[in-house]
């Protein structure tokens, strides 16, 4: 395979991987932007979404089939149920601490505790076994010379784009989206203006968790299997993507995820790096970026009020 075809194939692979990172990174950025919480349980929310989608596809498969119709229905069900799980986590674990104006370190430790709870809970329920997504989608697609782009890859990139555009429209054009942006600036002023801050923050957790669930189902369909520890590494990488784009920025999370995905796939083709060192290459780029632009690509410096 010539260099040209290798580059095209790796760009396709990078866009797929980057789309997963972007969807999860959006949840990190939304939560951090509104309550300044690094929700390290978000990667496990992604994992739970994959398992909920797996269960929904198994139940719906007999009626809708295991093709795209069944997958779409399973994805929507997973997004809704896991979105509710995100709201429940916010209500039970984070909101009591927010009401008491607890230090950020307390919120961070609580997020780690929620992560371990979800991780070990799914491990017990599944006996630590891999679960296989039986979709029967095959590898049909479009061939461009020596490059093969499957219909699954095309649909996933398009679906990710639709979800991102929908979120961007929701944040910038709807009343709830404007409330989220206002709360990110000043919660006390929003309360004085009659905005239900607790409800809006809960909605933020719902949206972020739903997007992570969508990424989990897509990953299960794309890779063909899921496991209880799948959220740990991708959660860290999605957080990295959010930092690259500028944590707290919605467009930044989208861009950061795609950049990280492309960097990873590019790193596998470089001499002396390969797949074994791709994570080192990606995180090395992150370090360099933060040295020269600490706020990320689209992030803004914050001014502390005294």
pLDDT tens over the chain, length 306 residues: 577 777 888 888 888 889 999 999 999 999 998 888 889 899 999 999 999 999 998 888 767 766 788 889 999 999 999 999 999 999 999 999 988 888 888 999 999 999 999 999 999 999 988 888 877 777 777 877 777 788 888 888 899 999 999 999 999 899 999 999 999 888 889 999 889 999 999 999 999 999 999 999 999 998 888 999 999 889 888 988 998 898 888 889 999 999 988 888 887 777 666 677 777 777 887 788 888 888 888 877 655 554
CATH number at residue 10: 1.10.3470
Q: What is the reported pTM? A: 0.90
Residue 141 within any structural domain of the chain: no
Residues spanned by the domain of 185: 3-131+148-292
Looking at the domain assignment, is residue 66 inside a domain? yes
- Would you say 289 and 296 are in contact if contact means Cβ atoms under 8 Å apart? yes
Judge whether 136 lies within some domain.
Answer: no
Total of domains in the chain: 1
Q: Is position 304 within any domain?
A: no
In a domain, 286, yes or no: yes
C-alpha to C-alpha distances, 41 to 45, 74, 78, 113, 117, nearest whole angstrom = 6, 22, 17, 8, 9
Q: Cα–Cα distance between 41 and 205 in angstroms, integer?
A: 12
* Secondary structure (3-state) at 264: helix
Question: Would you say residue 298 lies in a domain?
Answer: no
DSSP string across 79-117: HHHHHHHHHHHIIIIIHHHHHTT--HHHHHHHHHHHHHH
Tell me whether residue 270 is in a domain. Answer: yes
CB 24, CB 232: distance < 8 Å: no
The answer to whether residue 159 sits within a structural domain is yes
């Amino acid at each position: 395979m010539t260099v040209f075809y290798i580059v095209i194939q790796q760009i396709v692979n990078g866009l797929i991987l980057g789309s997963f990172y972007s969807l999860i990174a959006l949840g990190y950025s939304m939560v951090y932007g509104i309550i300044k919480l690094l929700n390290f349980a978000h990667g496990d929310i992604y994992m739970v979404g994959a398992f909920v989608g797996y269960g929904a596809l198994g139940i719906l498969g007999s009626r809708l089939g295991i093709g795209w119709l069944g997958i779409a229905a399973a994805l929507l069900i997973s997004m809704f149920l896991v979105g509710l799980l995100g709201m429940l986590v916010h209500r039970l674990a984070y909101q009591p601490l927010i009401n008491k104006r607890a230090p950020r370190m307390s919120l961070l430790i609580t997020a780690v505790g929620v992560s371990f709870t979800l991780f070990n809970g799914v491990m017990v329920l599944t006996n630590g076994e891999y679960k296989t997504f039986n979709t029967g989608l095959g590898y049909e697609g479009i061939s461009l010379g020596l490059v093969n782009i499957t219909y699954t890859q095309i649909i996933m990139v398009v679906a990710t784009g639709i979800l991102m555009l929908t979120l961007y429209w929701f944040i910038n054009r709807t009343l709830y989206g404007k409330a989220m942006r206002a709360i990110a600036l000043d919660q006390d002023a929003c309360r004085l203006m009659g905005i239900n801050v607790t409800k809006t923050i809960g909605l933020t957790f719902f949206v972020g968790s739903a997007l992570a669930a969508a990424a989990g189902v897509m990953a299960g369909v794309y890779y063909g299997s899921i496991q209880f520890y799948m959220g740990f590494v991708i959660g860290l990488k999605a957080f990295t993507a959010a930092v690259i784009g500028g944590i707290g920025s919605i467009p930044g999370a989208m861009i950061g995820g795609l950049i990280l995905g492309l960097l990873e796939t590019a790193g596998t083709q470089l001499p002396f790096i390969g797949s074994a060192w791709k994570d080192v290459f990606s995180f090395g780029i992150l370090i360099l970026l933060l040295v020269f632009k600490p706020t990320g690509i689209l992030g803004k410096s914050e001014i502390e009020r005294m």
